[in-house]
Amino acid sequence: MRQLAQFALALACCVSLACAREFNIHCNSNLVMYWGQNSHGTTNPGENQLPLDEYCDKEAGDLLVLSFLSEFNADGLHPPTLNLANSCLTTFDNSTLLHCPNIGRAIEKCQKKGKAVVLSLGGASGAYGFSDDVQAERYADQIWDMFLGGNSQNRPFDNAVLDGIDLDIEGGSSIGYVRFVQRLRERFTESPGRRFYVTAAPQCPYPDFYTGPILDNAYLDMVFVQFYNNYCGVDKANWFNFEQWHEWATTISANKDVRVYLGVPGSPSAASSGYTPFEKLEELVNATRSKFSTFGGMMVWDASQADSNIVDRDASFVDLAKRLLDSNRKCTDDSDKVVETVTDIGSSSSSGSSGAISTALTSSAGQTSDETVGDRSSTTAASTSASAVTNSSTSRSLTKIHERTTTFVDDDGTATVLTHVDVSEVTSVDQQPSLTSDREEGGMALEQLNR
C-alpha cells in the first residue's frame, strides 16, 4: 500500500506539472523551435505569434531560439540591433537598443519549466560580421555582458540569463567567428555549474558556404541544419544528405560529440520549399534517428508556423513532432552510456494506473547535480524511485517511478519547484520482486515531495 500511495502521489505531481523535464543535450528527442519573427502572422494578418512563454506552457519545444540579433554593430559605435517583430518595440531611454522586460520574464518562466532559451545572431537578412579577431573577441564580451552571465547597465531582457548563443550566419565572411566562440567559452567558465551552449544553423549543402570554416574550427554543441529551401531538403529523397553531416560531426567537427538536428519548416508557408506531409516526415525521422548516433532531434522554423499548422484533428505540427520524437527517446551521458530510453509512449500498465502518463521513461537513480540558473540557484535532488506491484491471475506488472525535483529561488526569495517524474513498466514478472531498496528510496521520494 505504501508503494501504491507513492505512485499515486508522484502521478498527481506529474499530471499537474505536465511531466516537465529539463533540456538534455544528450537525448535524441529534442524539439528546437525558432521564435520571434512572427512568420505565421506575416502571411496571416491578425494571427500573430504567441508570447514566448505561451509556447513553453504547451510543453512541446525543448529549446527555444530567439530570432534575431540581426545587426552586430561590432565597431561599438551603436548598440546591437534586435529584431523580434511585434514582440518588443520599446527601447532604453536615449538609445536604439530594445528593452523587453516582458520577454525577460517569459525567458525565466520557460527556464523554470525546464526549457533552454538561446539567442540567434544573424538571420537571412541583416548586417553582421567582424573585421578581425580582436573585434570578435570584444563583441563576445559585449554579448556575454548583455545577454548571458555578465553585467551591463542595459540588458535587453533585464536579469534573465540566456542559455547560449546560436549562429545563423547567412551572409558576409567567416572572419572572426571562431575567435568569437572561443572567447564566449572562456567567459562561460565564470559561471561554474551553469551550462551554456553555442549552436549554429547552417544550410544543408555541405560544406555550408558561409559557416564552413566556423563549423570545422569552432567548438559547437549543436547544429540545426536547414534541410529546406535547398536541393538537399527533406522533400528531395535522392539528395537528402544527413549522412554527410553525420560524417562531418564524427570526423571533422572540433566537438566530436556535437549533435545534428533535422531542420524542417513547420507549415507549407514557412519556407519556399521543403515542407513534407507529416506521415512521410515521420518515416524519415525514424529512419534517420535509427541510423545516425549524432541525431539530436528536430529543428522547426518557426514556432508560430508549426503551432498554427493543424495536421490531425486538434493536433498541431508541434504536437505531432514532439510525440514522434518522444516515441523512441534515448539519452546518453557524457561517456555515451545509455542512461534513459523510451519505446512505448502513452501505453498504459496492466493495472491502468499509468494511463494518464504521457511518457514512460527509465533512468539511473541516485545521481545528484547542482547548477546555477542566472541569478537563481538550482539544486536537483538525487533521483529516487518507488514501485507499485499489481497482481493478476497469471502475472504481475511492475511500475517503476523515478522522481527528481528542482527548486529555483528568485532574488525575492520566491521558491518554485519543478518536479520531473519518469514512469516505466516491466510486465510479466514471474515472481514477487524484492522491493527493499525501492521502499527505502521511495520513502525519500515522499520526503522530498512533502517538503
The backbone region for 119, taken as left when phi is positive above 0, alpha when psi lies in -120 to 50, beta otherwise, is beta
Alpha carbon of 347 to those of 10, 341, 361, 420: distances in Å? 18, 14, 11, 19
Q: Please state the three-class secondary structure of 68-134 as a single string.
A: EEEECCCCCCCCCEECCHHHCCCECCCCCCECCHHHHHHHHHHHHCCCEEEEEEEECCCECCCCCHH
Q: Quick one: which of 429, 358, 344 has its CA closest to 387?
A: 429
Q: At 80, give phi and psi (nearest 5°).
A: -60, 150
SS3 166: strand
Q: At 4, give phi and psi (nearest 5°).
A: -65, -40
Task: Quickly count: other Cβ atoms within 10 Å of residue 48's Cβ.
Answer: 15
Cβ atoms of 97 and 5 within 8 Å: the answer is: no
Q: At 154, give phi and psi (nearest 5°).
A: -120, 105
Note if 243 is an active site residue. no
Considering 170, 340, 403, 425, which one is annotated as catalytic?
Answer: 170
CA 106 to chain centre: 15
Question: E strands of 18-77, at which residues?
Answer: 30-35, 63-71
* Separation CA 81–CA 88 (nearest Å): 12
Q: What's the one-letter identity of residue 124?
A: A
Report the DSSP beta bridge partners of residue 169.
Answer: 123
First-to-last alpha carbon distance for the chain, in angstroms, is 22
SS3 130: coil
Q: At 286, give phi and psi (nearest 5°).
A: -60, -45
C-alpha angle 18-19-21 in degrees, rounded to nearest 5: 120
CA 380 to chain centre: 18
Q: Quick one: which of 389, 366, 367, 369 has its CA closest to 380?
A: 369
Q: What's the sign of the alpha-carbon dihedral 243, 247, 250, 253? A: negative
Q: Is the peptide bond before 68 cis (omega within 30 degrees of 0)?
A: yes
Question: E strands of 374-438, at which residues?
Answer: 376-380, 384-391, 396-409, 415-429
Q: Quick one: which of 63, 106, 62 has its CA closest to 84?
A: 106
Question: Which residues have a catalytic role annotated?
Answer: 170
